[in-house]
Structure 1
């Protein structure tokens, strides 16, 4: 039985699609089929546009949305991530390769394919080395902020197509808004009416006919409306642009240039594209997983993306990653398994082979309206509202990430959010709570409660430390212990309730040893109660117990107060009225009756 389980686990690691394949029944297949068809329609103009941005022939953008999409779906961990060409990677490729070869030339294409192969190798190695843990530093709040910002960018990028105005490709968000304001009098009413008709029909179909694929219905209505306007007024008057005819053949086999000279020339760029592609893919996968409540395996996602780019480089595909538009659309269209992404690639191939000329009738303003719907659906208003009302620091992270996405760069926004999250995390962990406590009032209780509202012992201070004592927290904990002397110099002995201390490093151990020696010189001592075994063993292995004192450690449910009670000054106890310990009520330290 154990051998069978081990064999299954091995198969799941090598062929991760075996995990979700049992979920595919007739209903799931139909749903994924519809989602895949929708995705194939949307990727037609996007692939052409992205390839143009990258300096490649238009068909290469479509090739990048076929084989890489299938491989990434089968070997990744996300059920909704759809891989393919992206804006950011297209821009980086053009900027890095165009100085080395003429864009669109055979040499340019060869260098891009080599770059794609190297990116895939780097990604695969990182996945096999289990470096997917890096994605844990992308917090939930960062993902929500990034998603919201990217959604706004998706909508902003379609403003020119929605209103029929001239905005330079690749313009920043603020420039798009400025151009919209400047050109508001030049809005094309025919183009805008097609976009509005598509948008309105999508909203209405989704609300009143939920069983009908609202995006496909909206596309059909928008296309028919555009044809009607062209027939009534003529395309010379309407200026409604369409996708245009596409080449009718499958991705040809290609061979990257793997000579040492070319590899050396492209390796540094490949590493940069690797980090960008992985950041995009995993961030998008996690952002969709927040909505679908699915767990993402970062290591498997790295492997899936790596294999996708390696295979893609041999089938004329340039570097791909997770596509925000297509992934969001895939989820919004109701996809249940990665089979939807596979269907999307197959439908795209079928479209090229069978109905490529019909793509000339797909109006671009209708596609802009569809992307408006996708962008709106990706903004997580519920969680944004929750974060805004529960955590000021998380709100700062969210809106910093969102604004960075809009006004800086898409990929840089993630780095900003991650760095800010880490800074806030370190700020919190570097100041663990040091809370004064007193013995609980219940008879026979071994617990301690907050000292607020209770009388404390004038000679013996008890504190609970909630947090790890590492190099970043040493100064805060040390200052808190020194502050005990400043508030009450008679409290020479200190008991640390250590159940909340999960970790301690060398700096923390050195500080505690120093504090124990200091308090002994004062005539008191440093004691520990309920310290975790891992923390105690660390102190023991580091030989810090000698400085602290072996007798200063008390396990759970031991009477620590009785042991410390006899070390107190009996003269101070004679005049003390607090008497918070059970022993105080009958005797003085040393055994003298009261």
Structure 2
């Protein structure tokens, strides 16, 4: 065996191993310095996720500790089997609200049945993510537009705020009410608002705003929790707990995540199948977009398929360790990078630190008022609404604005279907745009020695040879649009029997497009003219060659880049028409006619 063959086999083997054990790619980077940096970043991340995890679990309708469990095992697995050096997985706002909306119709939030269904949902999400990653479908998230994500997130933010109204004002309301009913009950029960509970919520809300503004380096959620808890303690001490009616979250169980088992019954799998698709779409969009955003700063290349695999494994294993669906966390990932993390070990250290912190502070959750949690979640909801991009979309594009508001309003009505309606409408606009490629009249650039063609607007054109530039792919959806433009040439000028297509902007031609071009070429020949192509890209040319379409069009009618198709086409024009023409836009028609006769005028 040659040295080159051995090297090739070794390289292929290494690539295979890297796909199975991707952490081997970055493991050689680990040293004493990176371990120190990763440990500091991990500790910072653990402090941040502590209040976040409790808040997100509350949103999801789960006991508070489940938000912390979701930041332990899944974070480690996603870090080891993903491709990003800085992405930190765990509970997120969008996933939490999607989990609650998906499972609440099937079981009472917080009940054992609810928890089992959540674990089933998490397992299915992991399976879908893993299958998509193994099938190399990482590019699927590119079809979920940024506008859809903004609209969904804004809608989810409103739902989060709505779900906390009863806790913020101390009102009795059934769980799982739709937003409009929550607002209706709020209006009906304005006279029943508990002033002590509302005071705790307002103090927490205001303290969070002040900490975030004046102490940006201090975790504002922790600061708000401390101030809110102290306010509740003072009110309870002065007026008495029975009089104030201030409720607390309750002590958290201290320890490692307990083993769990999803509900694999047919009914549970059937009920959670569609919601799992929604959560999968959200989770993968979050994870890949966040990892790419941070990779742009760290100059790292992200493998979307490997991220799918890492997220899938993290949710599959997490469902057996009391974790609900997790994804990439923007806040934790951003802080992880800003704190100096060098490798994914920072996420591992964060999970270990979270366990230690939980052992110390779990009993203190007994002093955390639910009104304080509501105030914190109001802050989270407000921060989720991207007012800047919403305003920019409103000014720039009507179609994108429609996608935004359909997604947002659809999310408020039905969270699961809202995002699908947004994606569907976004794809419809995309297909509409791609099915109408730009067809522009052009003429040769008059500059001496130029091979280019320029916009014909305001310039004279040849009456016999129509030159068109097509910018966009010619596929089944665009065939009718392109064909109508080619037929319109005859309606506008019956003498224009010859058509030259400047094809540098055509990226792709499918079978329907190729057959249409062959039909047009044959039609032009019957008219006594022809259809010609200049600067066809190799990918489109290969398609025409494979299907023998190039032979039917005529290989002599396909001209490569930096050639002069006019030199070959001009002799085919009608000399009598040229004799009367005053446009004379070609160098060839300045001195002689197509049949070789010299001009006399």
User: TM exceeds 0.5?
Assistant: yes
Distance in 2 (alpha carbons) for counterparts of 1:296 and 1:157: 36
Distance in 2 (alpha carbons) for counterparts of 1:468 and 1:113: 44
TM, length-normalised to structure 2? 0.85
| 2:90 is the alignment partner of 1:82 | yes
Distance 1:113 1:554, change over 3 A: closer
**1:588 is matched with which residue?**
593
Distance 1:139 1:122, change over 3 A: closer
2:501 to 471, 483, 496: 496
Q: Tell me the SS of whatever aligns to 1:434.
A: strand
| 2:144 is the alignment partner of 1:135 | no
Preserved CA contact (<8 Å) 1:215 1:333: no
Preserved CA contact (<8 Å) 2:534 2:561: yes
2:220 to 214, 217, 222: 214
Q: Where do residues 553-592 of structure 1 align in structure 2 (5 Å cutoff)? A: 553-592=558-597
Preserved CA contact (<8 Å) 2:59 2:100: no
**1:239 is matched with which residue?**
245
Distance in 2 (alpha carbons) for counterparts of 1:303 and 1:543: 41
1:35 to 45, 50, 54: 45
**1:546 is matched with which residue?**
551
Distance in 1 (alpha carbons) for counterparts of 2:76 and 2:208: 28
Q: Alpha-carbon deviations, 1:557-592, whole Å to 9, x = none?
A: 222112111111111111111111112211111111
Distance in 2 (alpha carbons) for counterparts of 1:368 and 1:266: 31
2:468 to 460, 463, 471: 463
Q: Shift of residue 31 of structure 1?
A: 4.6
Preserved CA contact (<8 Å) 2:212 2:220: yes
Distance in 2 (alpha carbons) for counterparts of 1:482 and 1:579: 24
Instruction: Give unmatched runs, 5+ long, in structure 2.
Output: 1-6
User: Could you tell which deviates more after superposition, 139-148 or 440-449?
Assistant: 139-148
Preserved CA contact (<8 Å) 2:129 2:308: yes
Distance in 1 (alpha carbons) for counterparts of 2:288 and 2:184: 32
1:430 to 431, 435, 442: 435
Q: Alpha-carbon deviations, 1:258-316, whole Å to 9, x = none?
A: xxxx566655446435423312312333565687576865433432333223323433x
Q: Tell me the SS of whatever aligns to 1:165.
A: coil
**1:419 is matched with which residue?**
424
User: Could you tell which deviates more after superposition, 192-201 or 306-315?
Assistant: 306-315
Preserved CA contact (<8 Å) 1:567 1:589: yes
**1:104 is matched with which residue?**
112
Distance 1:478 1:115, change over 3 A: closer
Distance in 2 (alpha carbons) for counterparts of 1:46 and 1:391: 34
The alignment of Structure 1 onto Structure 2 pairs a total of residues equal to 576
1:153 to 148, 154, 159: 159
TM, length-normalised to structure 1? 0.86
* RMSD of Structure 2 on Structure 1 (CA): 3.4
Distance 1:480 1:339, change over 3 A: same
Distance in 2 (alpha carbons) for counterparts of 1:363 and 1:329: 24
| 2:314 is the alignment partner of 1:314 | no
Q: Tell me the SS of whatever aligns to 1:86.
A: helix
Distance 1:429 1:231, change over 3 A: same
Q: Shift of residue 215 of structure 1?
A: 2.2
Q: Alpha-carbon deviations, 1:340-375, whole Å to 9, x = none?
A: 765665465446544433211011222222222222
**1:225 is matched with which residue?**
231
Distance in 1 (alpha carbons) for counterparts of 2:349 and 2:561: 60
Q: Where do residues 256-335 of structure 1 align in structure 2 (5 Å cutoff)? A: 267-269=269-271, 271-285=273-287, 288=290, 292=294, 297-315=303-321, 317=322, 319-322=324-327, 327=329, 330=332
2:54 to 34, 40, 44: 44
Distance 1:153 1:263, change over 3 A: closer
Q: Tell me the SS of whatever aligns to 1:566.
A: helix
**2:210 is matched with which residue?**
204
Q: Tell me the SS of whatever aligns to 2:112.
A: coil
Distance in 2 (alpha carbons) for counterparts of 1:340 and 1:230: 41
Q: Tell me the SS of whatever aligns to 2:594.
A: coil
Distance 1:528 1:121, change over 3 A: closer
Q: Shift of residue 519 of structure 1?
A: 1.0
Preserved CA contact (<8 Å) 1:119 1:319: no
